[in-house]
Structure 1
Amino acid sequence: MAELANLARPAAADAPLLSIEGVAKNFGSFRAVDRLSLDIRAGEFFALLGPSGCGKTTLLRMLAGFETPDEGRILLDGRDIAPVLPHERPVNMMFQNYALFPHLSVRDNIAFGLKRAGMARAGIDTRVSEMVALVKLDGMEKRKPDQLSGGQRQRVALARSLARRPKVLLLDEPLAALDKKLRESTQQELMELQRSLGMTFIVVTHDQEEAMTMANRIGVMNAGRLEQVAAPRDLYEAPASRWVAEFVGDVNLFDGEVASHEHHRLTVASRNGGNIVATEPRQLVAGTGVSVAIRPEKVKLWHDGGPASDAGRSQAINRLAGIVADVSYLGGATVYKVKLDSGAVVRASMANTTRLDIHTYSAGQRVVAWFTPDDCVVLER
């Protein structure tokens, strides 16, 4: 097991393990990946996130060698692997449907790639035993895939992918077939496994929560291009564009123009919320079209009439009056939809920190939705 912990180490201290340089892929007239560039570090858990058809699986298949780039280079440890055949690359891919051989046992499924590589029988036996222990399938070596649960089949596929000790493991929607509880526990197991091996994992998913839970960094793809690459917190709290703000999590957006900008305080004349004040260090010229993004959990509600304290009033520079149109109780939080007097709808998500509904609001109740300038993200349009 000590040997397993040294699977992936960078060739140089600051050099990326994997460099994707201007890669493009066309299918007829459709451009699936559009001159995309990305560096991935050794030992990183990286997620490619995006809607269906954005090109993330096509990119993964090019890394695995199942598709050939029409343009650009893919460098692994400085070597261009684009012309290298899939089975000759130090890269393995775990498929969404696991692709296990139904007639083979757990042991033989894990050993399949090792036999194809010409490893000696003794070495195969040792490696398979290591993999079985690693994914906690002891005692199940003789079972066939149809005798296993979905989670156990997923572990067999993972063990088979790891058996040849690749430098990079590619995972295509690896948890999509699992139920919610099993998916959450498997996420933790994958993270612990990746950390213990020190290997580079690249996962493709359309599940935002999954990506933000597991990955060190996330690349958000749209129409074959990377919209933003960032750590999960930065991606959520500081989206680079209106598209990213809308795609990642829930968000309230107010479109308008810059009215004034003084001392890092930007006033935006919005079309659906009146004047909104935001903290913004960039100097934006009056009249510039912008969108102000506010996450629902940053929006607070007051009963009509406002807070009793002066401190509460001083924080609430941005106040929007309206009526509660809908209430959704989600267990840990309650989501309120407030129809503003302007006609726009604002979502507020409030944590249920007490068992009794002391601070709840009901449909039809008049309220004030408020948020601070620091809660706002200003996005140029």
Structure 2
Amino acid sequence: MTEEPANPAHVADSKADVRAAPLLRIDAVVKKFGQFRAVDALSLDIAAGEFFALLGPSGCGKTTLLRMLAGFETPDEGRILLDGKDIAQIPPHQRPVNMMFQSYALFPHLSVRDNIAFGLRRSQMPAAEIGKRVAEMVALVKLEGMEKRKPDQLSGGQRQRVALARSLARRPRLLLLDEPLAALDKKLRESTQLELMELQRKLGLTFIIVTHDQAEAMTMAGRIGVMDAGRLEQVATPRVLYEAPRSRWIAEFVGDINLIEGKLDAARDAQLTMARRLAIATAQAGTIYVAEPQPPPTKANVCVAIRPEKVKLSRRAPTSDDARAINRFEGVVTDVSYLGGSTFYKVRLDTGAVLRSAMANTTRLDFDAYSPGQRVAAWFSPEDCVVLDQ
């Protein structure tokens, strides 16, 4: 699976190509359970020092892939290369790879210190070095003073830190995290995300996290691989994934989006060539003008995708000479959802289509807010539209 480039000209990203010298290369890996292909000829390169996220719905194969990297499952086909060496048949304890489980898997009868030291003792590290390494890990995850406590004497966030310290103690080349923050409450999860990112940068290790939480993946990872039915559907930076999804499925899975089906209007396109615009004839919204995508659509039937925050609302329609508002519609607000930093509106256009708009709440008392039943103008720029084959 190659990284998807950002097709629209307005989507830029400063990330370098991480495939030049991959630490990890997953080459056409297949894993079957009976006739079911949990992972289906999947290929992926991950660079040293990268924070990579595997994102997808339940049952898509992301945890199975992680377990193959850890050595708990063996591929039926393909290779897993770490530093150029095929590790697919190497036992888990002999790999420079550690995995942090969703349940943390701490030993309830062992103290914090002994949980962290467990893997070091199994590797026959000298006792003096074990003590030094454990102290280093305790300080790293900020658990000083808690070394003698048992897991049932710790909070959920503290247990998570012990599991992380144990995973890092052997200094693996690759750290695998399987839904590591799922058991934490929202506030703690958000703060722990930032701590994990800082820790990963400080240590310079390669992290691969499995999650079904889109916000978590986009916050933490430099790149995201979206999986479905055992395959990678798209690999890209969070920005490219959100702004330039390569398919309708990706567009719907990652974030909220408006999808309007239509057909390329060749007659109108001829009049818009100089402006590099395409006209899409839709059944409900009428004609929608979009920036000409590169490469152009391969089919006449297409889908126009617009993120809610790109749909602007106003009490009056913008002037006709405003090129950014060439797509102008009128309608009625039907639903309002106040979310603190933003308000989501649902607008039923006079043409019959329904658009969702997300407007930032920039003042404490927003006197420009709209109410259900209020008539508004909804408008968006051709550059903010993504054209997808149906």
Q: TM range, normalised to the smaller chain?
A: over 0.9
Q: Distance in 2 between matches of 1:286 and 1:320?
A: 28
Q: Does 1:331 align with 2:343?
A: no
Letter in 2 for 1:179: D
Q: Distance in 2 between matches of 1:348 and 1:290?
A: 22
Q: Distance in 2 between matches of 1:55 and 1:190?
A: 24
| Structure 1 residue 235, shift from structure 2 partner | 0.6
Kindly indicate whether the alpha-carbon contact (under 8 Å) linking 2:116 and 2:169 is maintained by their aligned counterparts in 1. Answer: yes
Q: Does 1:17 align with 2:23?
A: yes
Partner of 1:72: 78
Q: Distance in 1 between matches of 2:250 and 2:297?
A: 23
Q: Does 1:295 align with 2:343?
A: no
| Structure 1 residue 379, shift from structure 2 partner | 1.1
- Report the secondary structure of 2:388's partner residue: strand
Give the 4+ runs in structure 1 shifted more than 6 A.
Answer: none
Q: Distance in 2 between matches of 1:40 and 1:353?
A: 39
State how many pairs are aligned: 367
Change (3 A) 1:102 1:211: same
- Report the secondary structure of 1:210's partner residue: helix
| Structure 1 residue 282, shift from structure 2 partner | 3.1
- Structure 2, unpaired ranges of 5+: 1-17
Trace 1:315-330 onto structure 2 (pairs within 5 A).
315-330=324-339
Q: Does 1:306 align with 2:317?
A: yes
Q: Does 1:280 align with 2:289?
A: no
- Report the secondary structure of 1:17's partner residue: strand
Kindly indicate whether the alpha-carbon contact (under 8 Å) linking 1:259 and 1:287 is maintained by their aligned counterparts in 2. Answer: no
Match of 2:104 among 79, 98, 104: 98
Partner of 2:3: none
| Structure 1 residue 340, shift from structure 2 partner | 1.9
TM-score if structure 1 supplies the norm length?
Answer: 0.93
- Structure 1, unpaired ranges of 5+: 1-11
Q: Distance in 1 between matches of 2:256 and 2:339?
A: 14
Partner of 1:365: 374
Q: Does 1:251 align with 2:257?
A: yes
Letter in 1 for 2:306: I
- Report the secondary structure of 1:62's partner residue: helix
Kindly indicate whether the alpha-carbon contact (under 8 Å) linking 1:170 and 1:201 is maintained by their aligned counterparts in 2. Answer: yes
| Structure 1 residue 287, shift from structure 2 partner | 6.5
TM-score if structure 2 supplies the norm length?
Answer: 0.91
Match of 1:351 among 351, 360, 366: 360
Partner of 1:164: 170
| Structure 1 residue 50, shift from structure 2 partner | 0.5
Change (3 A) 1:254 1:310: closer
Q: Distance in 2 between matches of 1:251 and 1:180?
A: 24
Question: CA offsets per residue over residues 131-179 of structure 1, 9 Å max, x none?
Answer: 0011100111000000000000000000000011100000000000000
Match of 1:57 among 47, 59, 63: 63
- Report the secondary structure of 1:245's partner residue: helix
Question: CA offsets per residue over residues 222-242 of structure 1, 9 Å max, x none?
Answer: 111001001111111111111
Q: Distance in 2 between matches of 1:243 and 1:103?
A: 46
Trace 1:183-202 onto structure 2 (pairs within 5 A).
183-202=189-208
| Structure 1 residue 360, shift from structure 2 partner | 1.1
Q: Percent same amino acid at aligned positions?
A: 73
Match of 2:152 among 136, 146, 149: 146
